[in-house]
Each structure stands twice: as structure tokens, then as C-alpha cells.
A and B are shown apart, each in its own frame.
Chain A
Amino acid sequence: MSIQTQIDTKLTTLAPLMVEVVNESHMHSVPANSETHFKVTLVSERFAGLMRVKRHQLLYALLKEELEGPVHALALHLYTPVEWTARGGEIPDSPNCLGGGKSDGKH
């Protein structure tokens, strides 16, 4: 199973109204078809009343195994349905790589 599918599967536990997992590894200096850099946009009622840090920590806990293993960077954009509607459903862009610490640890 690809890492992308694995992430997708784990995120279903948050009962997302909308979820998009994008492999952004091609934007970084890693071999072709790598699964190292991901962006997740997820809309769920579960985030209501949770500060941003807590929302991210919820995802980090769910994806602990992936983050300790192959996944090097994980951009997260997490919204409640109300916030998502207010944004007009716009997904933010990720920055381009600047090449630092490319082969070793995490972002």
C-alpha cells in the first residue's frame, strides 16, 4: 500500500467532510516517485473548539508511524466546516524547497 493511501485510510477516522492528500515530493530534491512530502487539507466537525496547535497534534498522533518513517514534511490545513465555507474552499499553496538538510531528518 502506498504511503498516500495509508494516510488517506488513517484520516477517515476523523470523519472528514472533505479530505485531500497531495504528494508534493516532486517539489523537493528527492528521487522521482518519492513519498516524502505531503500536504493534507481536511475539513471536519472534530476540529470545532480546538486551537490550531491541538488540531495539528491530533493529526501528528494519527500519522505518528508515517512521520517517524518515510514522511519528511507534512503541511496541514485543517478547518471546521464553518471555517472552510468562510474561506470559500480555497486550499493554500506550499512553499518551494530551498535544499537545506535534504537527505537527513525532518523539516
Chain B
Amino acid sequence: MSTTIESIEKQIGDNPILLYMKGSPQLPQCGFSAQTVQAVMSCGERFAFVNILDNPDIRAELPKYANWPTFPQLWINGELVGGCDIVVEMYQSGELEPLIKQAAQAAATDSE
């Protein structure tokens, strides 16, 4: 059986664009998660998500692993990009879309 940290590392490693959030993209359960998922979705690429309300182990362990105490958390190419404030600021400044497009493109090339 894998530990929670191993699951987290696998999720982060396997998914170039990964959002840990409260609720789902269709039904976010928190205003901060809602704003973040909206910014990510408007970049128009497929992304993975984990609903931390359904995964109490990840909810408990990820903040320590990431050195980031709150949710949501956006991870791109294995690195923490940030939470709601950072993602929304990057979206508004036009930095988010190229970052997400690049990650999606690299992943598509890898799997060819």
C-alpha cells in the first residue's frame, strides 16, 4: 500500500497540470477554488483535479509536503505555481495561459 505522500508525488508527477481544490470544477465548494478553477479553465487546456474534500489524507498531508498551508493549489510540471491569489494575478497579467499551454503541449509531445 502506498503512503499518502507517495500518492501525492505520483499525482504531481503524472499530471502536468493539476489542481487541488475544494469541490469539482463543475461544483466548486469554496470561493477561492471557484476563482482559481475559472482562471485555469479559461486557458482552454485539459487539466487534472483532486477534490480534497473527498480525500482527507491528502488534505492533511499536502500542506506540509508543499510548504503551503491552504487550498486551492495549482501544480504545473511538478512545481507549485500557487493558490488563488497567485493564479488569478497571473491570469490577469497574461502569464498563466502561456504557462498552461506550454505544459499541455509538452505533455502531448511526450506521449506521441
Contact = CB atoms under 8 A, between A and B. Distances in A.
Given A75-B84, A95-B34, A106-B63, A100 B68 contact: no
A95 B85 contact: no
B31 A95 contact: yes
Given A52-B89, A101-B22, A107-B22, A57 B67 contact: yes
Interface in A67-107: 67-68, 73-77, 92, 94-101, 105-107
Interface stretch (B1-9, B75-83, B104-112): B75-83
B70 A100 contact: no
A82 B89 CA distance: 16
B13 interface: no
A52 B86 contact: yes
Contacts of A92: 85, 88-89
B30 interface: yes
- Which of B30, B67, B68 neighbours the largest number of chain A CB atoms within 10 Å of its CB? B30
A76 B70 CA distance: 12
A107 B30 contact: yes
B32 A73 contact: yes
Contacts of A53: 68, 80-82, 86
Contacts of B85: 56, 75-77, 92
Interface string B49-85: 0000100000110010001111110000000111111
B57 to A, nearest CB: 12
Contacts of A106: 63, 69-71
Contact of A98 (B28, B59, B60, B69): B28
Leading 5 A-B pairs by shortest Cβ distance: A100-B29, A95-B31, A100-B30, A100-B22, A67-B69
